[in-house]
Amino acid sequence: MAFTLTINGKSHVIDADEGTPLLYVLRDELGLNGAKYGCGVGQCGACTVLRDGAPLRSCFVPAGSLREQSITTLEGMRALDGALHPLQSAFLEEQAGQCAYCIPGMIMAAAGLLRQKPNPSEAEIRTALDANLCRCGSHNRIVRAVKRAAEAMAR
């Protein structure tokens, strides 16, 4: 049965089983490919989106359970004029992506952190991103990018 989700500020009628994981709905039904499939069991963070501003692993959450909530994906991070979000700019400036598969999830987890804590310490950034895995070992550049974005957002 169809249900409605609010994604990136727009209402979408979803014609899928309510138990379908949100990640599948985003990628397969809506063509929003920012969130990635990594492990599929909530362990890697590649699929992270925001639910009402807080990070959510979209790979195992039934989409039908999110009706009353606001979902933000990487695609929704840009400004209305198309400008990159400061996190997206900072990740590019710090060259934080190597293979970059983890980067969308990193950016969304960082966005959740900066919403809660606009000026996090390095330790707080590391703790917030600890469960988002990067197999290339780009962690130091990722942490620098989050710090850089926080500084840019404070100006």
Q: What is the binding site for ligand FES (CB under 6 A)? A: 37-40, 42-47, 57, 59
Q: Residue 117 to residues 54, 70, 73, 76, 92: CA-CA distances in angstroms? A: 12, 20, 20, 20, 22
CB of residue 78 to ligand FES, shortest distance in Å: 23
Q: Minimal distance in Å, beta carbon 118 to ligand FES? A: 26
Q: Which is nearer to ligand FES, 58 or 86 (CB)?
A: 58
Return the bridge partners of 50, or none. 55, 72
* Closer residue to ligand FES (CB): 86 or 112: 112
CB of 81 to ligand FES, least distance (A): 31
One DSSP character per residue, 11-33 reads EEEE-S-TTSBHHHIIIIIS---
CA angle 139, 141, 145 (to 5 degrees): 115
Q: Which of 21, 86 has the CB closer to ligand FES?
A: 21
